């Protein structure tokens, strides 16, 4: 289980994101290594999910664990290399990865107030 947090460094959760980015890179290497043996390796990257980790947080688009579980199972059955769940996160993170670092820094800046 990786996370969308590993797709781009952020101000508030960069250590968590770094660990997830490292995991995704390790899974990618393992996938390549095991490909000749037809052993699939699936990198699951959920967005915010309603778990103990997120209890009490107000997060837009938080996913139910049951939804995430269904998406993971579907991805495994289809032998997907990477599974974003819920599926809109694939497109959200594609856009976030393409943003210049200066824009991401402004979006992630603390708000005055």
Give catalytic status of residue 16 as yes or no: yes
Q: Catalytic residue among 8, 9, 14, 16, which?
A: 16
| Closest to 45 (Cα-Cα) out of 12, 78, 10, 91 | 91
Q: Are 2 and 81 in contact (CB under 8 A)?
A: no
Give the number of other CB atoms < 10 A from CB of residue 89.
22
Catalytic machinery residues? 16
């Amino acid at each position: 289980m990786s996370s969308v947090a590993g797709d781009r460094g952020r101000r508030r959760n960069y250590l968590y994101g770094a660990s997830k980015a490292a995991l995704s890179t390790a899974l990618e290497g393992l996938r390549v290594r095991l490909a000749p043996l037809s052993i699939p390796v699936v990198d699951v990257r959920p967005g915010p999910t309603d778990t103990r980790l997120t209890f009490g947080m107000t997060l837009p688009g938080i996913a139910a664990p049951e939804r995430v579980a269904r998406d993971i199972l579907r991805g495994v059955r289809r032998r997907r290399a990477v599974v974003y769940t819920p599926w809109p996160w694939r497109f959200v993170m594609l856009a976030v990865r393409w943003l210049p670092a200066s824009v991401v820094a402004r979006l992630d800046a603390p708000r005055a107030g």
